Every structure is written in C-alpha cells, then in structure tokens.
Structure 1
C-alpha cells in the first residue's frame, strides 16, 4: 500500500485530491494538511511514501519546505504541483530534493501514475516543467522595475526605495503599479514571489 500525505490549502481541491487518490486500491491517504508549515511534523509522524505539495502563490519559501521534508524523511518522495514553472523554480526544487514536478492541470490518471512512479523510487517531471527549464520565458520587467522589486523584497517603504534608487516617490509608485500588472500579483510580496519563481529577478 502506497502511503500519501496531501498538502493543499483549498478545502474543495484538497477533498477532491484525497478522495481521488483514496479510491485507488493501492493508495492510502494517511493525512491531509492545510498549512505547509505543519508538513515536516506530519511527515515525521506518518512517514509516507509520497507527499503531494501544492505550491500555491501564498506558500512561503516552497524550496525550503521541500528541503525540510526531505531532511526529516529522506525516503519520502516529494511531488510538487504548480500552475507555472520557471527555470529557477525547477532547478531549486530538484536541488532541494523534490522527485516529482507536475502541473495543476495534470489529468487524474497521470497524477496517480506519478504517485506510483515516485513510490517505486522513480522521478517524474512533466513536459511543461521540462520545457520551461530548457526554454525559459523572457521577463516582461524592465531593468529599473527589477531594481524596484529587489528593494521591495527587502521590505523597504516607498520613501526609502526612492532614496536608494535616486527616484521620485511617484516614479517608484508607478514602477510598483507596472510590476503588479505584469506579474498579476495582489501585493508586493506576491510580486516578489512570482518574479523569483519565474526567474525574472
């Protein structure tokens, strides 16, 4: 029996994933987690064969989460799910110990197959992740927008960002608005996360 832990913040999706996996005769969902911060402890207690982790935009430091899981349970395979891949995220997740990368649009039979492959000791990287790693998308951010975003990543207020970059307050605000639009982020920290994920900074 393949023992699986599912980490997914969205209740409806988590319930659907658990139900779908549990319906397979050779798979047992031993625990479900809403907060990735709880994953290392849950993995330590249950020692699953596979951990399915949804890397949603609000998941803090996904690479560190994967590294911590593989640190406490080196025999547990991490299967990361994301809607978009970047060369940086693919490389960092694999370096952190993830053995599987699949998109959120992966058909259920393929997801089940990935769980079985990982439990058997194999690796799974879907086509989108592989193609992104080989052919990275070009960044929509200008050089100055990247500089502003790096300052935002430090948590600096607009006044300090403007002083450091020798820009007017209004210019910094305009750059931040453009960054939000281009990254599709709701706030600065999400913009930083998305830019890092996509290898734009």
Structure 2
C-alpha cells in the first residue's frame, strides 16, 4: 500500500485530491494538511507516508524549512510538489530541498497517479511545461531569509516594523536589505522588489 500525505491550503481541492487518489486500490491517503507547521510535521512523523504531495503555495518561509526537515527525517518519503507555471522561483527553492517530483496543477488525476507511482519506484518526475519555465527563469541569488525580509519590506514598512514582524532587530534588517541590494544590483528596496517579482522570486 502506498501511503500518501496531502498538503493543500484549499479545503475543496484537498478533499477532491484525497477522493481521487483514494480510488486507487493500492493508495491510502493517511494525512490531509492545510498548512506546513510544527503540528503538520508531527502528523507527518506519525502517519509515516511514502509520498508527500505538497502545493507549492505552502513553500514560503517556515513551510520550506519544515519540508526540508521532513525530507531529512524521513528520507524514504518522496516529495512531490504541485505547481503552476507562474511559480518558478518557489520551484527552484523546492528543488533545493530534495523534492523529487513536480507536477503541474493542470495535470489530470491520472497523470498525478502516474507521477506518484514513478516516485515510489525511485524515479524523478518533472512536468515538461514546468521544466521549461524553470530553465527560462534565473535562480534567485537570495537566501530564504533574505526573501522573507524582502517580501515583508515590499509592503513599504520601515525597517523597524519589518524587524518586528520577522522577530529581528532593525539593524539586522538593514544588513539584510544592504545584502539584497548588492545581490540584485538594485539602488533601493523598491527596485529590489521589482527585480525579484519580475524574476519570479517573490509571489
């Protein structure tokens, strides 16, 4: 029996995916999560899935870190990410944390089932359309924490408020911003945000 964990923020879609996968005689959906947090990691540990199917929208900030921890703690659990063509930045980061499969959100249930079976056999699964988007998009030079800082700073908040939201000091945020400007070649925060958004590093 192939044990599957689903992590999808939309209740309706999560339920539909669970129903579709459960029709396969050798599939068992052992956990359904709407987010990736510490509680989700505990559920993943307890449910011992063979495959984790995760929506790319959950791979921001702590979600990406938790997915990385899952891959380290359960190396035999294959991770498959569901993504649209408009999320190449997140896909690049996902592939850095041992994700072995990427399937497009436009895929049919049959294609998803086939992808899961390929992962269980130890094969890599990369959606052709998404592979083209990945090649066409430059990889982000920013770390996950730098992207967090830039994402919050994009709202126009001063450094002190960005620091409060991210539980950092204002000086640390200013240092991050300085590094971000250097890496992106931008003259100010607004320009750095534009560079990151146009490259798909921020969503």
The reply to whether TM is greater than 0.5 is yes
Per-residue deviation, residues 73-120 of structure 1 (Å, max 9, x unmatched): 11101111122232x433321221111111211111100111111112
Residue ranges of structure 2 left out of the alignment (5+ in a row) = 139-149, 163-173, 178-187
Query: Secondary structure, in 3 states, of the residue corresponding to 1:106?
Result: coil
* Offset at residue 21 of structure 1 (A): 0.2
**Rounded Cα–Cα distance in structure 2 between residues aligned with 1:160 and 1:21:** 44
The correspondence of residues 1-201 of structure 1 with structure 2, limited to 5 A, is 1-37=1-37, 38-56=39-57, 59-83=60-84, 84-86=86-88, 88-136=89-137, 152=153, 156-157=157-158, 195=197, 198-199=200-201
Query: Secondary structure, in 3 states, of the residue corresponding to 1:32?
Result: strand
8 Å contact kept, 2:101–2:124: yes
8 Å contact kept, 2:2–2:50: yes
Per-residue deviation, residues 144-184 of structure 1 (Å, max 9, x unmatched): xxxxx5781598428999xx99xxxxxx9xx69xx7xx89x
RMSD over aligned CA atoms reads: 3.7
**Rounded Cα–Cα distance in structure 2 between residues aligned with 1:8 and 1:70:** 18
Query: Which runs of structure 1 show a deviation greater than 6 angstroms over 4 or more consecutive aligned residues?
Result: 158-161
TM-score under structure 2 length normalisation: 0.68
The number of residue pairs the alignment matches comes to: 167
TM-score under structure 1 length normalisation: 0.68
